[in-house]
Structure formats: C-alpha cells, structure tokens
Amino acid sequence: MAESPASGYAPSPRPTYDAPTLVRRSDVQHHVWGDEESGLVGDWIYASTSKVHVIEFGMAPGCWFRHSPSFRTVFAADEVLYVLGGAMLACNPQTGEVVECVAGESLFFRKNTWHHVRAQGTEPLRVLEFFAPPPSQGTSGAYAMKQSYLDKPVYRRDELLGKCVGAAKPETLHRIGTRERSLRLEGEIVVGLIASTEHLTVAELQVPAGAAGEKTAHGGDAMIFGLAGELMVRTHWKSQSATHELGPRDAVFVPETAQYELLSFSGPATALLGVAPRYLP
C-alpha cells in the first residue's frame, strides 16, 4: 500500500538501509493512504529498499480498504500478507474470490491481482505485508494507475452454486495456514516456508530455547520480524559484527552482502523472515 490520503496518489516514505539495522516498532515511519471511496489505511513502514518492501498495516474492526480512481489496489508484485492480530477477509473484486485469514495465517497472491480487505470481527486488524519487486521498481501506485479501472467489484462466485462441497479451490488468493507450510531444518531452526517465488520468499522461523543458529546469507535483502519471545540477531557485514536484541514487532534488516545468526538465550521464539529476490545466496 503506497499511497497518501485524500489528495490523490503520492509515493509513501521509502526507508532504506546500507548496513544491518535494528528497526524498533516504536521508530518505524508512519503513513496513511486512501480516500472516502477506498477507505483509509494506516501503514507502519519497516523497510522499502531496492529489493524488498515490508510494512505493517492496520484497520479498525469492520473497516475496509477497497479501491478508487486515485487508489487502485492492483500491483506488479508478489505479496504475502501475514495476519498478526484480528481476522482478515480478503477479496479479489475481479474474480469474486473471498478468503478469511485469522491470526497466524497468511495470504499469498501474485502480480496483477486486485485485492480488497475487511477487518473481520471485533478486534483491530494488524497485518505484516511483504512486497517484491518493491515500489522503488515502479510496481506499486504508479503501475496501478496505468491499469484498466475495475468499475464493478464482485464478492461472490455464482458458478460454484449447485456444485460446491466445502471450500472451493482458490484461483488467485491463496490462504496458507499454520499446518500448510513447507518445512525445512536449518541447523536447530525450523523454517516454515509460506511462499517462495522468483521474486520473494517469506517464512516463519521457529527457534528453540538455547538455540545457536547457523551463519546464514541470502541472495537478496532480508527482514527478520519478531513475533514471540526474544532473539539475538548477530550480523556480520564487511569487517563489522553487531548483535541486536529482537522482541515482538521489532525487526532487523540484513542487506544482501551480509550474514547473520539467530541466538536464543531464554525460551523459544518465533520470527518472520522475508527475502527478496532469492533465498539462496
């Protein structure tokens, strides 16, 4: 989401870093986008580099974001939306698909997917969004304004009536639950892949108590976002090493040329990892 409110499209702030950096939740840049027709959304922008865009967005219970002539929610990027709190009703207003994700679940979709979101239930909605290629590559608002406008949103699939048992197979919106991730072991750490494409990999990291992770590097910029527990993230970049304490809603940015290790000196911890464009170095 890379727009500003009321006055029409304008790029959002793009915080970028040239070295490993701890980004505290209390220090992230804020942004509001939307208008009366699309609805207003609050963004907390953790990073927007030349490779990856990572934000948290939030809405009050029952509120929507849709689209309007100035704010078109169709981009040239792969996206993962991880629900941190509340429940998210996600819709493709072009196909009529509607998917619900609760806390701990994710939604994945690819380029050119129209999407609307409603904060379902009685709790505020908070979602962590990974987006690549990032807005700095022209994939966000500027791209959206060049697409054909969607005049008549739909939120139902009438073709399913009379031939549907249970959940229908999604076409564009892919819900990934806590038991639907592809797992890999990297030393002591369980890496649960939520989505991995040529542009973006997002995974949940389960770090056991007392773990000392392997020294890791990726083929792109990485953001490690704390979900639960406490972690130490030790980074190695050029001739410099540093240790960052990562709590819930804090993040550590690791540029492509750096390595890092995850360490636990207390109980188990979980984190989200987003890497763009390539997971392997």
Q: Does residue 197 sit in the same domain as residue 95? A: no
CA distance 11 to 2: 6
Same domain, 272 and 141: no
- 176, 205, 239 — which closes off a domain? 176
pLDDT digits (tens, 9 = 90+) for 18-57: 999 999 999 999 999 999 999 999 999 999 999 999 999 9
Q: Give a yes or no: residue 11 inside a domain.
A: no
Would 47 be classed as within a structural domain? yes
Is residue 12 in a domain? no
Any idea what the CATH number is for the domain that residue 247 is in? Answer: 2.60.120.10
254 contact partners, CB below 8 Å, separation of at least 6:
20, 218, 221, 222, 223, 224, 233, 235, 260
Domain final position from 176, 203, 223: 176
Same-domain pairing of 211 and 163 = no
Q: Do 33 and 139 reside in the same domain of the chain?
A: yes
pLDDT recorded at residue 147: 95
Domain-ending residue, one of 176, 198, 227: 176
Number of domains in the chain: 2
Q: Within this chain, do residues 172 and 192 fall inside the same structural domain, yes or no?
A: no
Instruction: Say if 14 falls within a structural domain.
Output: no
Query: Counting Cβ atoms within 10 Å, is residue 100 exposed (0-12), middle (13-18) or buried (19+)?
Result: middle
What's the pLDDT band for 77 if we cut at 50, 70, 90? very high
Residue 129 belongs to some domain of the structure? yes
Quick check: 136 pLDDT over 80? yes
Whether 153 and 214 share a structural domain:
no
Query: Encoding tokens for residue 135?
Result: 């807005």
Pair 162, 195 in one domain: no
Map the chain to HEC letters: CCCCECCCCCCCCCCCCCCCEEECHHHCEEEEEEECCCEEEEEEEEEECCCCEEEEEEECCCCEECCCCCCCCCCCCEEEEEEEECEEEEEECCCCEEEEEECCCEEEECCCCCCEEEEECCCCEEEEEEEECCHHHCCCHHHHCCCCCCCCCCCCCHHHCCCCCCCCCCCCCEEECCCCCEEEEECCEEEEEEEECCCCEEEEEEECCCCECCCEECEEEEEEEEEECCEEEEEEECCEEEEEEECCCCEEEECCCCEEEEECCCCCEEEEEEEEEECCC
Whether residue 111 has pLDDT greater than 50: yes
Assess whether 233 and 168 both reside in one domain: no
For residue 220, give its domain range.
182-278
Q: Is pLDDT at 5 greater than 50 in this prediction? A: no
Residue 2 within a domain:
no
The whole-number average pLDDT for the span 139-150 is 95
pLDDT by residue (tens digit) across 81-93? 999 999 999 999 9
